[in-house]
Amino acid sequence: MEWSGQRVFGIGAGALLGAMLGVILLSAARGTPLAVIAAGLVLLVLVVNLVVSERMVSRVITRAAQRAQLISAGYAPGEPAPARVHRVFGRGVGQVATMVWPGAQEPARLAILHVLPQHAPPRSVYALLPLRYGIERGAAAAVVLDPSHPDIAILDDRVPADTLHAIAADPRWATVRVPSMFVRQGGPETIAASVAGLLLVLLAGALLG
């Protein structure tokens, strides 16, 4: 997935939110009505962020379904890897093929998994998990990674139960740090921009006040 647009928006929104928070604090301290205007702008940024996030999730779901169909049918290469489910989104999001039934399409939920690739550092990936398996947060899983889309994987439902038990017992889960999607999509920069925006407004208020 291409995250540059999401990163730029997140950083810009973070800076604006920090600045607006500074305006609210200064306005509240001085008893001016600017706090109401700033609060409205903050609400606007939050709504826009929600819209952008929903569009991003929609793109991820579409891409994950497309790649799952290609990989399961053998039209695209894949790399097996152990995984653990980090988050499962609550609502059903459409149809997905599986490694066992590459020609079928069944209801699924979007999930974020932590994976331990054999020839690459640990990372987070998106995958569509068929509803009938009832997979929840914390469960061990086997996946097939997509070399062309490092953020995407497909659930490998061919593996036996003893393989899943071995994945769950892997001691690396207790020692290896897996970068989150938040970090890869601009998290630290967004937080830094928020703090910078807040401090800039507070400093300007102190100098002008």
* Each residue's pLDDT tens digit, 156-169: 999 999 999 999 99
Residue where the block lists tokens 């962020």: 49
Ramachandran class of 96: left when φ > 0, alpha when ψ lies in -120 to 50, beta otherwise: beta
CB-based contact 3:184 (threshold 8 Å) = yes
* Each residue's pLDDT tens digit, 16-73: 666 666 666 666 555 556 656 666 666 666 666 666 667 777 888 888 899 999 999 8
Q: Which residue has the higher pLDDT, 3 or 87?
A: 87
**Residue 81 pLDDT > 90, yes or no?**
yes
Instruction: Give the pLDDT mean for 178-185.
Output: 64
**Residue 93 pLDDT > 80, yes or no?**
no
Tell whether pTM > 0.85: no
Residue where the block lists tokens 């020609």: 103
Predicted local distance difference test score (pLDDT) of residue 169:
95
Query: Of the candidates 97, 153, 154, which has an alpha carbon nearest to the alpha carbon of residue 125?
Result: 153
**Residue 3 pLDDT > 70, yes or no?**
no
CB-based contact 175:119 (threshold 8 Å) = no
Instruction: Indicate the pLDDT class of residue 80, thresholds 50, 70 and 90.
Output: very high
Pairing of strands 79-96, 140-145: antiparallel
